[in-house]
Amino acid sequence: MTGLLEGKNVLVTGAANPRSIAWAVALAIKKHGGSVALTYQAERLRRRVQSLADELGEAPLIECDVSSDQAVRRAIDELAELMPVLDGMVHSIAWAPAEDLQGSFAQTSRAGFAQANDISSYSLIATAREARRLMTRGGGIVTMTYAGSWRVVPNYNVMGPAKASLESAVRYLAADLGPDGIRVNAVSAGPIATVAARTIKDFSGMLELLESHTPLRRNVTSEEVADATVFLLSDLSRAITGEVVHVDAGAHATI
């Protein structure tokens, strides 16, 4: 494979299982010559993510619950012992209470809104702040977003404003970290049947509709999202920052 990421160290957050977008990203980084460290949310996921880390070959594996500033700081301190310099960070984390992902949007709870924004948007700021300490030769930060940020998608509900907030944070972080040679971008992926997504009502109906209506007449895969992420982490995208790249078979332009 190409050595697009040869010599680069990348921290990948959000791998929970082999279907996670973050896992496809980790594999793609390795394929292009990069070294990966993984973080996982909580002890209950450790064994599963350990076997993913083993598959990568001795990838550093660190617990990091992004709802705590202290936990994020400690995770990066721990990473610094194993990977003193970081060239990239991938943020692939989102969460909202299940009851706020259905029904009337006006019924969104104050607590659900706060949690969705905390875990799905503020966590990019917290992880970027800490990762920056190790990104001493510049680098790339990439987060995962969805078009429900700017258009109404039935049931995406509270996650819509959370993703809008995330995409705005991408631009503010790009402006703030740019002078240090750190670029910040997002990949806006089309729907993919990951474990989190499959629990959503009529997710398969949505995939079927897209199959006949996107410009490319198909859905996208995690591998395709991962390839775009590799591009955004690599020097090929060295003049791109504050951008949201749609990897959605063209859906954003037509549907």
Q: Which is nearer to ligand 0WE, 159 or 170 (CB)?
A: 159
122 binds ligand 0WE (CB under 6 A): no
Smallest distance from ligand 0WE to CB 102, Å: 8
Instruction: Indicate which of ligand NAD, ligand 0WE, none lies near residue 76 (CB less than 5 to 8 Å, by partner kind).
Output: none
62 binds ligand NAD (CB under 6 A): no
124 binds ligand NAD (CB under 6 A): no
Q: DSSP letters of 101-137?
A: SSS-GGG--HHHHHHHHIIIIIHHHHHHHHHHTT-BT
Query: Of 94, 184, 226, 228, which lies in the binding site for ligand 0WE, with binding defined by CB under 6 A?
Result: 94
Instruction: Indicate which of ligand NAD, ligand 0WE, none lies near residue 96 (CB less than 5 to 8 Å, by partner kind).
Output: ligand 0WE
Strand blocks (E) in the chain: 9-13, 35-40, 61-63, 88-91, 139-145, 182-189, 244-247
160 binds ligand NAD (CB under 6 A): no
Instruction: Indicate which of ligand 0WE, ligand NAD, none lies near residue 122 (CB less than 5 to 8 Å, by partner kind).
Output: none
| Cα torsion 233, 238, 244, 247: sign | negative
Q: Which residues pair with 90 in a beta bridge?
A: 12, 142
194 binds ligand NAD (CB under 6 A): yes
Structure tokens at 154: 């039935």
Query: Rounded to the nearest 5 degrees, what angle is found at the Cα of 12, between the Cα atoms of 8 and 14?
Result: 170
